[in-house]
């Protein structure tokens, strides 16, 4: 049973109650006296002396909400709250609303993604008196500064679940407090969001972000992404959320702009759940994550931490390029993983080959040509997939000569990427930092004349409070076991101060070793390549690195590919991969069970 089966049933129940869906056919619903548009502020003021009548009668929830008296309430009241909008998380929604004291607020601002891009603007307002099973949600006045913004019609409001599903909870736990609803499109202009925040900011206001977080991901990978999200919520920086995996980054940005203007950037997390933890019997393969928390008066309290994702080899020429052209677009290799690499601070790939404007490409979908050249037109799609860091220390980046390598660096950096490594020499490492935590990334191509004494000396110069990672391109191609040379190099790197070694090059997954408390991933296999020749070369491994001041958590996720397109490994393949890694794990007593059961290794640092 997938999470969507359960959630789909829940949403269908609600949609049927709303009278919006019968089978798969959407119906128009036009209650008597429903106005064609939501009333502007001036008209609301003129009606203030008449009895308040609902503009829309919201249908009942398919369950009863708990009594407030049964839930513990904090003494301090937040000025901002993060609350989900999936009814799978209804209990979390209720518990969060039950924390709130209605006497503390004169207005609620409810911010939601504009899930269906309704209307014609980046930001839409909705202000309506809505009748619910738990009472009337009063109409909120629209600030004069925002009177020109487009307004949702009642029909549009009835379609936006990020708004209407909150209204019964607001009526039940915050009775009599007017709600001004705001729907935000994903790509809304940051300048417009700042202007809207300025127009909305006011005292005695509770601002609610209606949002879910990691979507359609295996539970452990969702948890890895959620760690990055929680760190960003703690930092409360409106400009620092472009890497998050969330419903809608623009809605989150507007919310953080508002709590910043309210002087309330001190975040307290209340609950964290997903489909698996809410309904353990579901055994979901993929889940959505739910976070609740409050923002209180005070400065942000960011926690040091950094998250990185490492993938198997990536090669976008030869057969992958041919398949992309055949499939109608260079987004093809990434189409099946729209959220997989979003949600960390940085994703690091071994970029197998140069990228130049020269029109040459390795010919044929199954050519044996070993001279690669990646089309620069792939760059926006790599950026959209949230790939930020490109390792260039491998045996193919000189396929177009030194000038081609220089052009590769230029093209990738012009597109906003970061590059590290060189196939012929040791280069300066790349510093990756977030919230006061820094990782130093080296990229090395193992050749007979590689000067590992110089490498070791350079690693030893890394400050003790920085986490040293070495991205190695090495090993025997297609061998499922690491070589003695690989192990000697890895041990030497760790002896000289490396904290993590990540290997690429063999094109198949190789075992993991823990040496002196430091992890060595000898090979992550293939992530995007044209080597469909065997099951082994189709498989890859993602490693999610969550770096904290005192420990590092390594989350493993098997991937596969079909005709050069990356995707999550099916359950059976993923289980086989994790079993192989558990059985062949070297040097970590008891670690095999952790890999087999949770796909996670946690090591002290």
DSSP alpha helix (H) spans, 47-141:
90-98
How do 135-137 and 130-132 pair as beta strands? antiparallel
162 within 8 A of 222, measured Cβ to Cβ? no
Residue 547 to residues 203, 304, 423, 486, Cα–Cα distance (Å): 38, 9, 28, 25
On the question of pLDDT at 25 being above 50, the answer is no
The predicted model gives 374-399 an average pLDDT of 96
pLDDT cut 90: percent of the chain above it: 78
Please report the pLDDT score of residue 36 as a whole number. Answer: 28
Residue with tokens 């619903």: 29
Q: Which domains does the chain have, with CATH numbers?
A: 3-296 (3.40.830.10), 306-604 (3.60.21)
**What SS3 class is residue 279?**
coil
pLDDT-based confidence at 18, cuts 50/70/90? Answer: very low
User: Chain-wide mean pLDDT for the chain?
Assistant: 88
DSSP alpha helix (H) spans, 19-105:
41-46, 90-98
pLDDT cut 70: percent of the chain above it: 89
Half-sphere exposure (Cβ direction) of 296: Cα atoms closer than 13 Å: 13
Q: Could you tell me what percentage of the chain is helix, strand and coil, using 3-state DSSP and rounding each to the nearest 5?
A: 30, 25, 45
Please report the pLDDT score of residue 29 as a whole number. Answer: 24
Residue count of the chain: 605
On the question of pLDDT at 39 being above 90, the answer is no
Please report the pLDDT score of residue 597 as a whole number. Answer: 84
Q: Which of 314, 313, 309 is nearest to 340 (CA)?
A: 309
pLDDT-based confidence at 21, cuts 50/70/90? Answer: very low
pLDDT-based confidence at 361, cuts 50/70/90? Answer: low
On the question of pLDDT at 16 being above 90, the answer is no
Q: Give the model confidence (pLDDT) of 124-148 as tens digits.
A: 999 999 999 999 999 999 999 999 9
Neighbours of 288 (CB within 10 A): 24
Please report the pLDDT score of residue 52 as a whole number. Answer: 60
40 within 8 A of 143, measured Cβ to Cβ? no
Q: Give the model confidence (pLDDT) of 280-326 as tens digits.
A: 776 788 999 999 999 999 999 999 999 999 999 999 999 999 999 99
Instruction: Output the DSSP codes for 128-150.
Output: --EEETTEEEPBPPPPGGGTTS-
CA angle 476, 479, 485 (to 5 degrees): 45
Q: Which of 427, 416, 419 is nearest to 455 (CA)?
A: 427
Least confident window among 43-47, 167-171, 274-278: 43-47
Residue 88 tokens, joined: 């799978």
Residue 538 tokens, joined: 């189709």
On the question of pLDDT at 576 being above 50, the answer is yes
On the question of pLDDT at 443 being above 80, the answer is yes
Residue 316 to residues 350, 374, 423, 502, Cα–Cα distance (Å): 11, 6, 18, 21
pLDDT-based confidence at 74, cuts 50/70/90? Answer: low
Helix H or strand E segment including 584: helix 571-584
Q: Give the model confidence (pLDDT) of 506-536 as tens digits.
A: 999 999 999 999 999 999 999 999 998 899 9
Residue 105 tokens, joined: 């607020």
On the question of pLDDT at 571 being above 50, the answer is yes
The predicted model gives 479-502 an average pLDDT of 97
pLDDT-based confidence at 73, cuts 50/70/90? Answer: low
CA angle 88, 93, 98 (to 5 degrees): 150
Q: Give the model confidence (pLDDT) of 204-245 as tens digits.
A: 999 999 999 999 999 999 999 999 999 999 999 999 999 999
Neighbours of 254 (CB within 10 A): 26
d(CA 438, CA 458): 17
Please report the pLDDT score of residue 592 as a whole number. Answer: 80
Instruction: Output the DSSP codes for 518-549.
Output: EEEE--BBEEE-S--SSHHHHEEEEEEEEE-S
300 within 8 A of 235, measured Cβ to Cβ? yes
Please report the pLDDT score of residue 53 as a whole number. Answer: 73
438 within 8 A of 431, measured Cβ to Cβ? yes
DSSP alpha helix (H) spans, 363-443:
379-384, 401-414
Please report the pLDDT score of residue 34 as a whole number. Answer: 25
On the question of pLDDT at 451 being above 80, the answer is yes
pLDDT-based confidence at 49, cuts 50/70/90? Answer: very low
Contacts of 388 (CB under 8 A, 6+ apart): 346, 347, 348, 416, 417, 418
On the question of pLDDT at 6 being above 90, the answer is no
Residue 117 to residues 79, 121, 191, 464, Cα–Cα distance (Å): 28, 9, 19, 49
On the question of pLDDT at 159 being above 90, the answer is yes
Please report the pLDDT score of residue 280 as a whole number. Answer: 77
Contacts of 187 (CB under 8 A, 6+ apart): 122, 250
Half-sphere exposure (Cβ direction) of 497: Cα atoms closer than 13 Å: 20
Neighbours of 290 (CB within 10 A): 26
């Amino acid at each position: 049973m997938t999470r969507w089966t359960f959630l789909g049933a829940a949403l269908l129940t609600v949609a049927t109650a709303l009278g919006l869906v019968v089978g798969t056919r959407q119906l128009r619903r036009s209650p008597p006296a429903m106005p064609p548009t939501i009333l502007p502020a001036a008209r609301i003021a003129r009606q203030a002396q008449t009895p308040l009548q609902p503009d829309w009668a919201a249908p009942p929830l398919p369950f009863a909400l708990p009594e407030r008296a049964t839930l513990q309430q904090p003494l301090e009241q937040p000025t901002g709250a993060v609350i989900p909008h999936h009814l799978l998380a209804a209990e979390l929604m209720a518990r969060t609303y039950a924390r709130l004291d209605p006497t503390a607020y004169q207005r609620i601002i409810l911010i939601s993604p504009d899930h269906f891009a309704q209307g014609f603007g980046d930001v839409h307002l909705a202000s309506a008196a809505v009748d619910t099973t738990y009472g009337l949600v009063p109409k909120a006045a629209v600030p004069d500064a925002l009177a020109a913004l487009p307004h949702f019609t009642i029909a549009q409001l009835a379609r936006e679940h990020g708004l209407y599903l909150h209204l019964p909870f607001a009526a039940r736990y915050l009775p009599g407090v007017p709600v001004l609803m705001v729907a935000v499109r994903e790509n809304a202009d940051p300048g417009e969001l700042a202007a809207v925040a300025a127009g909305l900011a006011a005292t005695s206001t509770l601002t609610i972000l209606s949002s879910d977080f990691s979507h359609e991901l295996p539970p452990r990978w969702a948890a890895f992404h959620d760690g990055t999200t929680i760190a960003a919520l703690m930092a409360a920086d409106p400009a620092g959320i472009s890497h998050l995996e969330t419903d809608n980054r623009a809605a989150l940005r507007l919310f953080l702009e508002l709590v910043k203007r309210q002087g309330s950037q001190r975040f307290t997390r209340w609950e964290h759940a997903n489909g698996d933890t809410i309904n353990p019997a579901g055994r979901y393969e993929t889940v959505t994550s739910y976070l609740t928390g409050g923002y209180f008066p005070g400065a942000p309290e960011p926690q040091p931490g950094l998250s990185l994702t490492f993938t198997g080899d990536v090669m976008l020429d030869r057969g992958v390029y041919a398949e992309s052209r055949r499939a109608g677009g260079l987004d093809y290799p990434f189409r099946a993983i729209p959220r997989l690499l979003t949600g960390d601070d940085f994703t690091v790939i071994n970029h197998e080959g140069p990228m130049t404007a020269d029109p040459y490409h390795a010919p044929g979908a199954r050519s044996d040509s070993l001279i690669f050249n990646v089309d620069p037109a792939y760059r926006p799609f790599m950026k959209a997939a949230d790939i930020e860091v490109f390792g260039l220390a491998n045996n193919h980046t000189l396929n177009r000569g030194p000038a081609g390598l220089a052009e590769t660096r230029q093209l990738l950096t012009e597109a906003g990427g970061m590059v590290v490594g060189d196939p012929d020499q040791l280069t300066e490492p790349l510093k990756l930092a977030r919230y006061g935590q820094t990782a130093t990334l080296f990229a090395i191509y193992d050749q007979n004349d590689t000067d590992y004494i110089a490498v070791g000396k350079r690693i030893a110069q890394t400050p003790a409070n920085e986490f040293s990672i070495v991205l190695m391109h090495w090993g025997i191609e297609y061998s499922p076991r690491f070589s003695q040379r690989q192990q000697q190099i890895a041990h030497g790197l760790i002896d000289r101060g490396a904290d993590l070694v990540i290997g690429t090059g063999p094109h198949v997954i190789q075992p993991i070793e823990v040496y002196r408390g430091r992890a060595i991933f000898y090979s992550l296999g293939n992530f995007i390549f044209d080597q469909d020749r065997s099951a082994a070369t189709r498989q890859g491994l993602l490693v999610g690195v969550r770096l904290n001041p005192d420990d590092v958590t390594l989350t493993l996720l098997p991937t596969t590919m079909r005709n050069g397109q990356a995707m999550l490994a099916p359950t059976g393949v993923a289980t086989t991969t994790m079993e192989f890694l558990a059985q062949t794990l070297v040097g970590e007593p008891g670690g095999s069970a952790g890999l087999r059961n949770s796909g996670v290794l946690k090591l002290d640092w």
